[in-house]
Structure 1
Amino acid sequence: MTLRAVIYARYSSDLQSASSIEDQIRLCRERAARAGWQIVGSYEDAATSGASLMRPGIQRLQQDARERRFDVVISEALDRLSRNQADIAALYQNLTFAGVAIETLAEGHIDEMHIGLKGTMNALFLKDLAAKTRRGLRGRVEAGKSGGGNAFGYTVLRHMGEDGEIRRGDREINEDEAAIVRRIFHAYAEGMSPNRIADQLNREGIPGPRAGKWDKSTIHGNPKRGTGVLNNEIYIGRLVWNRQSFVKDPSTGKRQARPNPESEWIVTEVPELRIIDQELWDRVKTRREGRKIEQIDKEAWERRKPRFLLTGLVKCGCCGGGFSTVGKDRFGCSNSRNKGKSICSNRTGITRQELEGRILSILSERLMDPELVKVFAAEYIAERNRLAASHVDDRAVKQKELAKIIRDQDVLVNALLAGTPPERIKAKMEQLETRQKLLERELATAPAPAALTQIHPRMADTYHDRIRAMIVGLTEPDQESEAREAIRGLIEKIVATPVPTKGKRMALDLTLHGDLAGILALSLNADQLSGQQKTSLLQEVEESAGFLVAGAGFANCFSMSKAIIPPCPAKAA
């Protein structure tokens, strides 16, 4: 049987030619043709670093591998797939589990030895590259050039040098943007808040850095890190570099900034880039120093206040932004407060007590209607039976194919014994052996048909008993933390939408989007199980949460993997 192959190609940056991907694909196609493999697709990542697996092409490849859409991945070299030692090991394990082999033009068939040695070499390459890049950037900064990125108010220049080489990193003042910078400094020095400044600039349609909207944090920034318009010393002709370094969080693949000690800062005077005169800069700094005590008090209160039960779960129904603290015990739309009414007009707030009370009421009284649960139980069992039957059918198909492959191998062996030249049947025999090993692995690792979880209408009663116990636990010091986390696990998001009331005041309608998997797990007492029973149940619940269950009135309660609860009647906030 002909193996199905896909190609993965990547080039690292905009400085490399896009034709690199075309060249990689062409060479990989030639390799597949020599092996007699059928190309069924290709995956590409253009101008993307190989230091992380957070790339759309490699993510699609892994998803399709899990769905068994191909048998072999072909790439130019192992470092095209990833240069990160941990990532390439994880990728190899995932593809192997899915029964997919890796073949590269540089290393051939990839096995554990390649993963260990090449992974280490690629990791060392990245570390050496980072050190050389940083050394080069430091030299540019000490020469007064850009060390990467650009500040609002300047244009980066590219021009031909006397030696014919392209010169990069020089900057000049962008007068249009510089006028906006001066306006921000003057407005702040005269007493206007960063919030009002951002709102006014957005109302006038003035584009911010990277052509985005202005935000108050873009203006006030972080004085310790030198971020924000009001803290950037380049506006007074001082280029400060190496204030912070970045490390990658291995669990998320995202970079995190860490401040460097002041002794490691690189400071270069660039008087030709000064936009703000010293007198205005000092006025702004004086006002900021006067506000430090107020800021310290606010930060102390933030540290003292208990964690909000619904932190990060409330979204604005107008703009989709998050809700944050707008008072000591009141919450409102972050975009409206930080970017102004021109971005979001939702100025309706809500107290913590009312928000928590309404959401807990929805969870305890309006979720898991017994009549809807009956419909779900019937649909759930029908769907699990259908999936179990499909697993059995798939296993039977693979067993039948494996038996045919073994018969075909016997035919080739008999032909060889009858005097057929070995070179005529070698390629076919290799294909059959490869496919045989793949099928045997898939059959060996295929999960056994799972027993049906006992879903029945009475689970609604279990849910209501458990959720009421959790709500009571919120008032118990020794149970509060555990109860809070359990309740948060039932919620995907809460959408807060302003609506007018009879008294023409605005109130918030709250729509709760529940996490169906979490709700089912709670209803089935999954947390009270242990060992393999709990693991199996949670796995089955996760799969079941993806069903689109149809039934009389049931779709009004559950949609895909989310439980959507109608909003409570509005109250004046």
Structure 2
Amino acid sequence: MRCVVYARVSTTRQAEQNISIPDQISRARKYAEARGFEIVGEYVERGASARDDRRPKFQAMVEAASQKQKPFDIILVHSFSRFFRDEVHFELYRRRLEKRGVSVISITQETGDGPGGELTRRVIALMDEMRSKEDAKHVKRGMEENARQGFWNGAMAPLGYKIVAAEKRGDKVKKKLAIDPQSAETVKLIFKLFVEGDGKAGPLGVKNIASWLNARGYKTPRGGAYYTSRVYAILTNETYAGNAWFNRKNTATGEIRPREQWIKTTVPVIIPGATFRRVQMLLKDKRPSKTPPRLVSSKVLLSGLAICEGCGKPLMMTTGKGGAYRYYKCSGKHLKGRCKGELSVSIREEKLDELILRALTERLLTPRRTHSIVAAVAKRREGGRGEADHTLYRLRGQLAQANKRVRNLLNALADGVAGETDLFKEMLSRAEEERAELTGLVAAQEVQVKDALKPITMEEARSASVKLKQLINAAPADLKKRYIRALVSEIVVGKSEIVISGPKDALAEAVTGAPPAHIAAASGPVRSLVREWRT
């Protein structure tokens, strides 16, 4: 009988220890030799879970067994848990192989043939599945607590960071993220290219950033090229703003869990919080699901914002007299010959543009309105500051303990209790490194807490309103469009009334921050598509 050996371990760490897999193969060879089986191949899976069938070597083995001229008759495994830890999948694949004349044999779990053997196999498979789920539950619980205590669970650090040993508890080495100076510069460069550009052609889009990096020889940590999806993942990774989230995604289904189940770990900041939020606003504003690319690049001031009150269709630009006159018209009426609301709006371009700009500068940006909106938004955001304050409190407590450890070591040296040995130096160095890291984390968290929106006085509101009005009126056409898109989400045009709507948060940020940079970043001239956004 010809047979192959299938050996598997669940994690790459187990594979690196190089103990389990050689032992599985060695035992299988002895088993085969004792029974006169001829081993014709080995399939070794290093670091793959048996709870599903997403295993390259496993699939290659099944495919080989399914050939018309099958190359082997038996699959030898150390135990059935090496083959599958899911009873349903186990039985499906076993029966599929059985139809091809291939048996799955465990060298440590003799089951026999007939109904009794089948029952034994299914009981074993069910027990393996239950044990796997219990193990996974306990591992997950441990990892969640690890994250709550501020340690890193990931096997690989995000670009810009490196994994460092923080402390040792028994045989376990607790790890944290520290900034890797060299790769952190690449992260800062990507954000700079997105917000400011390279100094030649203005801000770059996601696709153009990838091209820019590849053209200059930049490589990912694994030596690959930068794709738009990779650049987009970096620009949206909140870790760079100091917040690494654990338990964010269900690894089995790929679904994002409810935010209240996420666990935050504070890490060193590479990108300031204000810059990170500006980038997220910009990405959101340019997403094709929200704003089609043709509207982003359009020269029409109100493209994508103005709609007909009668039918809800967008207003489109039409021309008359050979292009001498330009009108916003109901697209339903112009393209299909009928507006459902029987309004069929038509208004000169310069007239509607002037009405909207005047309404923004004279009716929206009044001191009283901006003062009350900033106060309301600040009050609402204040309600969400509890978590940030709690994190700062916890970090300050950890810093106090770190300072105490350093003082105790120095006092022990000064009092002659401890000598200046290599072990003492190592302990002192580790304590000082921890203190320095916590000092940086506390400083970053203090900035985040202070970065919250604050109410402004009526005098500040008056000054900000005047400044913003001047900026909008003096801006060139493309910048006017960006200001409008940052403050306005919809313009409903009727026969006798125009209703302008927009988020209060946008106005509050505009009058309390630096209006030109903030609004330009909130709706900058980035023309790009990311593959995941395409339908």
TM-score tier, shorter chain, comes to: 0.3 to 0.5
Q: Between the two structures, name the one with larger relative contact order (CA 8 Å, sep ≥ 6).
A: 2
TM-score (norm 1): 0.45
